[in-house]
Homo-oligomer: A and B are copies of this chain.
Amino acid sequence: MATKAKIGVLGASGYTGAELVRMLLRHPRAQVVLLSAERNAGKAMREIFPQFSPFELPTLVGIEELDWAQAALDVAFCALPHATTQKVVQELLAKAPATKVVDLSADFRLHDPAAYAKWYSHEHHAPELQKEAVYGLTEIHRREIRKARLVANPGCYTSCAQLPLIPLIKNKAIELDEIVVDAKSGMTGAGRAAKGAMLFSEVSEGFQAYGVGHHRHMAELDQEFSLAAGREVIVTFTPHLVPMNRGILSTIYVRGRRGRMPQDLHALLLKFYMNEPFVHVLRFGETPQTRHVRGSNMTFIGVANDRIPGRAIVISALDNLVKGASGQAIQNMNVMMGWPEVMGLQQVALFP
């Protein structure tokens, strides 16, 4: 049996942290040797997430107690809050330059310091690393990820929008100035912090949009879509909250360019993802449901005719905690470590 790599999860008391632990416990090459959590330092993981009661896991520690050189992690997953992340990753890589880092925050996703400063209202604390970081949507940037030391794991909303749109944009198959992304997310996307608006009684039996016209994820979409198009692309994007735990579904309205019909867009996506293990394009006219990817690392994409000729409705679905966060992060680790990309990620969706 191959030796196992030493893995740390920084920020293990949040949902993406727990999800990383869930999958790493079954990953054949991974051994979780370090779990950090600020307010919960000193506790056992089972106190924070009782589902881990039957498993042996390291006690949660505070980050400031850590000696990164001594820890000698092979891989660190960083699931820390915005801004804290920059400082922690900077210090970690200074002290332990051989550790590979997959960062699940938004801190290293934007390459342009100006764009970062605009959306986050302050200068980046680690501009050198911001330059070095590779944007980690594996299906699109696999080659760079393979050589990366620091990967910025994409956001869940943006992954769900990029996977169907990037191939269409790259291939100049759709009009770039009238893309509408109407996105709907389960509640785990809001994290585990105690916010009044996220209480069960506030959320259950209801539906709403939020952040209309000014959601931070837009910066990430702008960057990646513009990169794919070779010119600036700005899309309309509206996020909504669904009373469910997991899942994002994006309903995307596009118009084919130069006579391209919805079937052509479908064929293009089918071909683009033919050999991808984690993106599945449904038959033409079929559309996905979030429940059919729950708990798995899959993205399902469907394409259907709009009744307005030349327009298509493209729908994508993924589990925001898996392909939208922790599964994607492990996929990136596998690529960075030269392991089979699907390793530890082959769980089948849990439905019902």
> Is A149 at the interface (CB under 8 A from chain B)?
no
**Is A187 in contact with chain B by the CB < 8 A criterion?**
yes
Number of A interface residues at 8 Å Cβ cutoff, please give it: 87
User: Which residues on the B side are within 8 Å of A246 (C-beta)?
Assistant: 205, 352
Q: Is the CB of A196 within 8 A of B192?
A: yes
Whether B348 contacts A205 by the Cβ 8 Å rule is: no
Find out whether the CB atom of B306 lies under 8 angstroms from the CB atom of A236.
yes
User: Shortest beta-carbon distance, A168 to chain B, in Å?
Assistant: 17
**Is A88 an interface residue, CB under 8 A from the partner?**
no
B residues near A294, Cβ cutoff 8 Å:
51, 205-206, 350
Residue A87 lies at the interface, judged by CB distance under 8 Å to chain B: no
Of the residues B287, B291, B292, B352, contact of A15 by C-beta under 8 Å: B352
A70 interface contact, C-beta 8 A: no
Binding-face segment, A90-98, A210-218, A331-339 = A210-218
A346: Cβ under 8 A from any B Cβ: yes
Q: Is A347 an interface residue (CB 8 A)?
A: yes
A345 to B108, CA, bound (A): 38
Q: What is the CA–CA distance of A192 and B202 in the complex, to the nearest angstrom?
A: 8
Query: Which stretch in A77-85, A120-128, A131-139, A177-185 binds the other chain?
Result: A177-185
> Are B352's CB and A188's CB within 8 A?
yes
Q: Which chain B residue shows the least CB distance to A237? A: B307
Q: Which of A51, A210, A347 has the most CB of B within 10 A?
A: A51
State A111–B195 Cα separation when bound (angstroms): 37
Residues of B within 8 A of A194 (CB): 194-196, 198-199
Q: Which of A300-342 contact B (CB under 8 A)?
A: 300, 304-308, 311, 313, 315, 317, 321
A218 to B26 Cα, complex, angstroms: 38
- Find out whether the CB atom of A199 lies under 8 angstroms from the CB atom of B201: no
Q: List 10 A-B contacts (CB under 8 A).
A: A192-B201, A200-B202, A206-B351, A207-B317, A208-B291, A209-B315, A212-B285, A236-B306, A246-B352, A295-B350
Q: 7 closest pairs, A vs B, by CB?
A: A206-B291, A208-B289, A51-B349, A51-B292, A200-B203, A201-B352, A182-B182
Mark A residues whose CB is within 8 Å of B: 15, 18, 22, 25-26, 49-55, 178, 180, 182, 184, 186-188, 190, 192-196, 198-210, 212-214, 218, 234, 236, 238, 240, 242-247, 249, 251, 253, 280, 282, 285, 287-296, 298, 300, 304-308, 311, 313, 315, 317, 321, 346-352
Q: What 18 additional pairs, Cβ within 8 angstroms, besides A53-B280, A192-B202?
A: A25-B348, A50-B289, A51-B348, A180-B180, A182-B251, A184-B240, A194-B195, A198-B200, A204-B245, A204-B352, A205-B291, A206-B247, A206-B291, A206-B292, A209-B249, A212-B287, A236-B306, A295-B350
